[in-house]
Amino acid sequence: MNRFDMTRIFALDTEGDEAGRTALLAPSRRGFIKLAAGAGSGLVLGLAPLPRSIGGGEAAAGKEAAAGSLAPNPFLIVAPDNTVTVIIKHLDKGQGAATGLASLVAEELDAEWASIKTEFAPADSARYKNLEFGVQGVGGSNGMSNSFEQYRQAGATARAMLVAAAAKAWSVPPGEITVKAGKLAHASGKAGSFGEFAARASAEAVPGTVKLKDPKDFVLIGKSTPRVDSRAKTMGTALFTIDQMMDGMLVAVIARPPMFGATVKSFDDSLAMKVPGVVKVLAVPQGVAVLAKSTWPALKGRDALKVVWDDSKAEKRGTAEIVAEYKAMLDKPGLEVRKDGDAEAALKSAVKVIAVDFEFPYLAHAPMEPMNAVVRFDGAKVEIWTGSQLQTIDQSVAAAVLGIKPENVTINTLWAGGSFGRRGTPDGHYVAEACAIAKAYGQPVPIKTIWTREDDIKGGYYRPIYLHRIEAGLDAKGAIVAWRHRIVGQSIMSGTPFAAAMKGGIDPTSVEGANTLPYTIPNMRVELATMKIGVPVLWWRSVGSTHTAHSTEHMLDIIARETSRDPLELRLSMLSKHPRHAAALKLATEAAGWGKPMPAGRFLGLAVHESFKSFVAQVAEVEAKPDGGFKVTRVVCAVDCGLAVNPDVVKAQIEGGIGYGLGAALKSVITMKGGVVEQANFDTYDVLRMSEMPRVEVLIVPSDQPPTGVGEPGVPPILPAVANAMLAASGVRTVALPMTRQSYRRA
């Protein structure tokens, strides 16, 4: 997911086409998600609000507040039993949204942490929109940053009302009342709990403005508040979408085309229907669905299906052909993304030019819980249970598929077994297909549509293939005077509602990190060529920075090596305008012992990269053998993410990001032959395992800046940091990923 202002991108509209708007999605969704293409005024401002059909009343949230509760806004309920339920507007896919947002409310409310419960908000963008997106959803690591003020305000509002109620009851001035850990008290000895005053507080006027705490008074923010979900997830009681069990529920799986863009020509379900437990076989736009009373018969039924596919419109190229086409494009100028000075002239007059090409493969996200959704459709209204990441999109896509209004779509967001971008789909495709099955079946029973791992690995929505060429021109002293960076790849945003963020045909997700290179280089040009390939692609944890960080940061070490300079010194000499990059680098390198003698066979590599407004530097230590074998033994990481609301969650996200990126560095790759994906499960799509996980030390740069992203920014630097360590060890450049594609044998 990216960090673009979706308030300027989305216009959700159920009234049909309007002048100046262009339907961008498939015809079946025409009229539901539109992009404003109006000239002059630019993009549509804001979202046509959805009617408030869910929850009832202005204040109560996902559930009706119990009698005697205080629910002054959509974000919390203080109950007579002293519990405080915080309504979490974002999906929690492991990043800690529930813990983080609850801690903001608890802080300003002065609630007792043990009394906090959390509940996911319904799909209702009027109340629960992401303040950066303008629609409900989370991505671009902005869950905390867009909620930081909003959830604190919510807590402070409730606190003020509780204090006002107590002040009246005790006949004392509100200013004399103290609140601590869920208890109200007055110097006179009067004291009471939140629960005792909840009902009376709800009769108080909701204050228009409230004063937020001075950060020096924080008792939870900046502390490592324990996660709210640790116990349930450790004991096995947390419920995910796949765990939904309802009376009369059917389980559906889809036989999917073997190539992207192929469709069903015909099918024979005679054997499938003989599998005990199989209830129905249905054609849907996505393939052939098998519905059964439970999962195993659905899977067996799918195996017994005979489907003839029409591949006349399918993407039949393999990844070798795609890469060859991209390579040819590297020789041609692309669209200009950034221009400082005159890179062309400076390259011509440079004393030395170093040119390096880089190749990045398709990558699957492979969250541990494959895609799934439960749908119950009664012909007029639908209820959906899923780990919805972009609720407003899922809601409007469901409405479009079912031919109903979005306000008749209820979405229950559940804990999700990972996402890494996979659940934030601009086309809402896995909700769409679950709805298509429910519509085709035509009976109001809950249907759980699940993907198998093979469906997931073969199912597209990959990190796109990219090729890069960086040409660096050096002057007589070895200083970098010219930098031309050409990128060739598929666009993630093109053809989706997010395309409104594209200016001049440039998808910002293809170039982010390259066009924002922080180093002082007088002549710089960044170019992009966008290719059309029939393989669905998607943001993959840290998006453009998954490739731009590697090409730029590895290139710097290649240059440092060619010019006999220290990689740290080279970077710091060009970072005078970017102190946060420099500070992160200094902190990480000092902690890692950069510049000190290393034991035999051990080498360090460093990298720094900004993504999602956070600055992350990493030093990777490798143990390298002469035969080319190596192991990443330790990673020291410094992160500047503004104020760290929950330092332990920040560290966890960075640790996880390092592992996620390291898997892509070392081994993960999706390839296609003749349009058919060659990987199917974790035996062929190899991901990081325990024995490959290095020791990780995360240092947080102290900061009083507003909080910024942590879910994604840990990923980008690890690829170049490891490559740089291996460059130091072997002299081999990592020009194609994953690193299994080349030998690091010492010459």
Partner 1 sequence: MPISFTVNGAKRTVDVDPETPLLWVLRDDLKLTGTKFGCGAALCGACNVHLDGEAVRSCQIQLQDAAGRDVTTIEGVTGNVAKAVQDAWIKLDVVQCGYCQTGQVMAAIGLLTQIAKPSDDDIDKAMDGNLCRCNTYHRIRLAIHEAAKTLPG
Which residue ranges make up the site for partner 1 (CB under 8 A)? 93-96, 226-227, 229-240, 242-243, 245, 251, 276-277, 294-297, 299-300, 365-370, 415-420, 450, 452-453, 648-649, 652-653, 655-660, 662-663, 681-683, 687-691, 693-696
**Nearest residue (CB) to partner 1, 373 versus 450:** 450
**Nearest residue (CB) to partner 1, 570 versus 635:** 635
Written as six digits, the tokens of 64 are: 């009706």
Instruction: Indicate the burial class of 564 (C-beta count within 10 angstroms; 0-12, 13-18, 19 or more).
Output: exposed
**Nearest residue (CB) to partner 1, 332 versus 689:** 689
Task: Outline where 16-147 has alpha helix (H).
Answer: 97-109, 125-128
Q: Is 397 helix (H, G, I), strand (E, B) or coil?
A: helix
Bridge partners for 77 per DSSP:
85
Q: Which residues contact 389 (CB under 8 A, 6 or more apart)?
A: 1, 91, 93, 137, 138, 139, 416, 419, 423, 424, 425
Using left for φ > 0, alpha for ψ between -120 and 50, and beta otherwise, residue 478 falls in left
How many other β-carbons are positioned within 10 Å of the β-carbon of residue 673? 12
In whole angstroms, the minimum distance from the beta carbon of 446 to partner 1 comes to 14
Q: Is 196 helix (H, G, I), strand (E, B) or coil?
A: helix
In whole angstroms, the minimum distance from the beta carbon of 232 to partner 1 comes to 8
Residue corresponding to tokens 């074998």 = 629
**Nearest residue (CB) to partner 1, 675 versus 716:** 716
d(CA 655, CA 666): 16
Q: Is 296 helix (H, G, I), strand (E, B) or coil?
A: helix
**Nearest residue (CB) to partner 1, 188 versus 682:** 682
d(CA 326, CA 535): 15
Contact of 139 with 90, CB cutoff 8 Å: no
Q: Is 607 helix (H, G, I), strand (E, B) or coil?
A: strand
d(CA 208, CA 425): 37
Task: Fill in the amino acid letter for 372.
Answer: N
By DSSP bridging, strand 70-73 and strand 33-36 are unpaired
**Nearest residue (CB) to partner 1, 277 versus 628:** 277
In whole angstroms, the minimum distance from the beta carbon of 346 to partner 1 comes to 41
In whole angstroms, the minimum distance from the beta carbon of 295 to partner 1 comes to 5
Length of the chain: 747
In whole angstroms, the minimum distance from the beta carbon of 418 to partner 1 comes to 4
In whole angstroms, the minimum distance from the beta carbon of 168 to partner 1 comes to 41
Written as six digits, the tokens of 38 are: 């109006």
**Nearest residue (CB) to partner 1, 143 versus 694:** 694
Written as six digits, the tokens of 516 are: 């924002």
**Phi, psi (deg, nearest 5) at residue 582:** -65, -40
- HSE-CB at 422 with a 13 A cutoff on CA atoms is 24
**Nearest residue (CB) to partner 1, 376 versus 578:** 376
Bridge partners for 278 per DSSP:
292
Distance between alpha carbon 545 and the CA centroid of its chain, in Å? 13
**Nearest residue (CB) to partner 1, 416 versus 537:** 416
In whole angstroms, the minimum distance from the beta carbon of 520 to partner 1 comes to 35
In whole angstroms, the minimum distance from the beta carbon of 663 to partner 1 comes to 7
**Nearest residue (CB) to partner 1, 415 versus 594:** 415
**Nearest residue (CB) to partner 1, 111 versus 649:** 649
d(CA 237, CA 245): 13
d(CA 583, CA 1): 27
In whole angstroms, the minimum distance from the beta carbon of 499 to partner 1 comes to 29
In whole angstroms, the minimum distance from the beta carbon of 563 to partner 1 comes to 35
Contact of 421 with 215, CB cutoff 8 Å: no
**Nearest residue (CB) to partner 1, 178 versus 230:** 230
How many other β-carbons are positioned within 10 Å of the β-carbon of residue 245? 11
d(CA 682, CA 443): 36
Question: Which of 294, 295, 293, 272 shows the shortest CA–CA distance to 283?
Answer: 272
In whole angstroms, the minimum distance from the beta carbon of 229 to partner 1 comes to 6
**Nearest residue (CB) to partner 1, 99 versus 392:** 99
Question: Which of 712, 391, 320, 336 shows the shortest CA–CA distance to 540?
Answer: 712
In whole angstroms, the minimum distance from the beta carbon of 194 to partner 1 comes to 26
Written as six digits, the tokens of 432 are: 């769409």
Q: How far is CA 162 from CA 72, 158, 405, 478, in A?
A: 11, 6, 39, 67
**Nearest residue (CB) to partner 1, 656 versus 720:** 656
Cα-based angle 227, 231, 232 (whole degrees, multiple of 5): 105
In whole angstroms, the minimum distance from the beta carbon of 369 to partner 1 comes to 5
Contact of 522 with 346, CB cutoff 8 Å: yes
**Phi, psi (deg, nearest 5) at residue 75:** -110, -10
In whole angstroms, the minimum distance from the beta carbon of 568 to partner 1 comes to 25
**Nearest residue (CB) to partner 1, 264 versus 457:** 457
**Nearest residue (CB) to partner 1, 478 versus 647:** 647
In whole angstroms, the minimum distance from the beta carbon of 184 to partner 1 comes to 31
In whole angstroms, the minimum distance from the beta carbon of 227 to partner 1 comes to 5
Q: Which residues contact 572 (CB under 8 A, 6 or more apart)?
A: 582, 585, 586
